[in-house]
């Protein structure tokens, strides 16, 4: 029942996105614009500022992720469908997992655009250790989306939700972003510092376990008005 509910919510979000392409296109456009602007600021005469690539990659992920979170939950607010989901006899944490998986899919697509873009514009060797990069991106994205999905759901009915979401989200996810930036910077060294990157992946995995567990535990009470 739990996995089936999560799958139904995910499939429903995909069906809506397939009709409108609204969240994906705005997220990708925003992410690409972010990298483009930073490239003009931090690349001089074909040389990027040291470690800028890793920071900009993660800033683009965080900013575009916040935009995607807002838009995704705006859909649930528009016709108060989140209340209809909460009234269903399904396990409420499964609703959270379904929305989280949808966010991860959107951010995954955004990162598939961002990584080659950052690698090209900042002449960064992001593909030197692809599996380690994948581990860092997966760990960081899960941590960010886990907290973001919980807060975005919680704020659906708040009048100033667009302001409150980043105010609540960024302070809590700063450790995740820092871990992602430092781990990616370690991969960009020459030669790549694999032990340091692995250490940051481990730290990200620990954050993910804590954040997902806390979100599953608190989703139901937080969603009861």
Partner 1 sequence: MTVDFDSVRLIDVSRHFGRRRALSRVTLSANRGDILGLLGPNGAGKSTLIGILATLAAPSAGEVRFDDHPARALGAGLRSRIGLLAHELHLYPELSARQNLVFFAELYGLDKCAVVDAALERAGLHERADDPITGFSRGMRQRLALERALLHEPRLVLLDEPFTGLDDRAVDLVSERLRQLAASGSIVVLATHDLDLADGLVTHVALVRDGRLIADEPAGTGLRARYRALIGAA
Site residues, partner 1 (CB under 8 A):
1, 5, 8, 12, 15-16, 19-20, 75, 78-81, 83-91, 224-225
Nearer to partner 1, 79 or 160 (CB): 79
**Cβ-based nearer residue to partner 1, 20 or 213:** 20
In the complex, the smallest distance separating the C-beta of residue 6 from partner 1, rounded to whole angstroms, is 11
User: What is the C-alpha to C-alpha distance for residues 45 and 60, in angstroms, rounded to an integer?
Assistant: 23
Write the secondary structure of 172-219 as one string of H (helix), E (strand) and C (coil): HHHHHHHHHHHHHHHHHCCCCCHHHHHHHHHHHHHHHHHHHHHHHHHH
- Cβ 158 to partner 1, closest distance in Å? 12
**Shortest distance in whole angstroms from residue 1 CB to partner 1:** 8
- Considering the complex, state which of residue 44 and residue 159 has its C-beta at the smaller distance from partner 1: 159
Closest to partner 1 by CB, 17 vs 208, is 17
User: 114 to each of 60, 71, 100, 109, how far by Cα in Å?
Assistant: 8, 20, 20, 9
181 backbone dihedrals φ, ψ, rounded to 5°? -65, -45
3-state DSSP call for residue 18? helix
Least distance (Å) between residue 118 CB and partner 1: 32
Give the shortest CB-100-to-partner 1 separation in angstroms: 17
Q: Which is nearer to partner 1, 76 or 111 (CB)?
A: 76
User: Which lies closer to partner 1 via its Cβ, residue 187 or residue 223?
Assistant: 223
Contact 122, 184 (CB under 8 A): no
SS3 content of the chain, % helix, strand, coil (to 5): 85, 0, 15
Residue 108 beta carbon to partner 1: minimum distance, rounded to whole angstroms: 22
Please give the angle made by the CA atoms of 6, 69 and 36, to the nearest 5 degrees.
130
With CA atoms as reference, report the closest residue to 153 among 68, 222, 65: 222
């Amino acid at each position: 029942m739990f996995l089936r509910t999560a799958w139904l919510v995910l499939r429903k979000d995909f069906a809506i996105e397939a009709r409108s392409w609204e969240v994906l296109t705005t997220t990708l456009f925003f992410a690409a614009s972010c990298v483009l602007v930073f490239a003009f600021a931090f690349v001089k005469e074909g040389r990027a500022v040291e470690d800028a690539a890793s920071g900009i990659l993660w800033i683009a992920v965080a900013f575009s992720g916040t935009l995607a979170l807002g838009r995704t939950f705006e859909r649930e607010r528009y016709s108060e469908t989140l209340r209809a989901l909460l009234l269903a006899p399904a396990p409420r944490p499964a609703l959270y997992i379904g929305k989280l998986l949808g966010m991860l899919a959107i951010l995954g697509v955004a990162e598939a655009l961002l990584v080659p873009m950052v690698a090209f514009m900042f002449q960064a060797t992001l593909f030197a250790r692809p599996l380690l990069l994948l581990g860092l991106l997966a760990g960081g994205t899960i941590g960010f989306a886990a907290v973001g999905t919980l807060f975005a759901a919680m704020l659906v009915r708040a009048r100033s939700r667009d302001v409150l979401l980043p105010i609540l989200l960024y302070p809590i996810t700063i450790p995740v972003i820092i871990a992602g930036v430092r781990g990616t910077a370690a991969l960009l060294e020459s030669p790549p510092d694999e032990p340091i990157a692995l250490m940051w992946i481990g730290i990200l995995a620990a954050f993910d376990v804590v954040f997902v567990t806390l979100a599953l535990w608190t989703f139901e009470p937080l969603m009861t008005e």
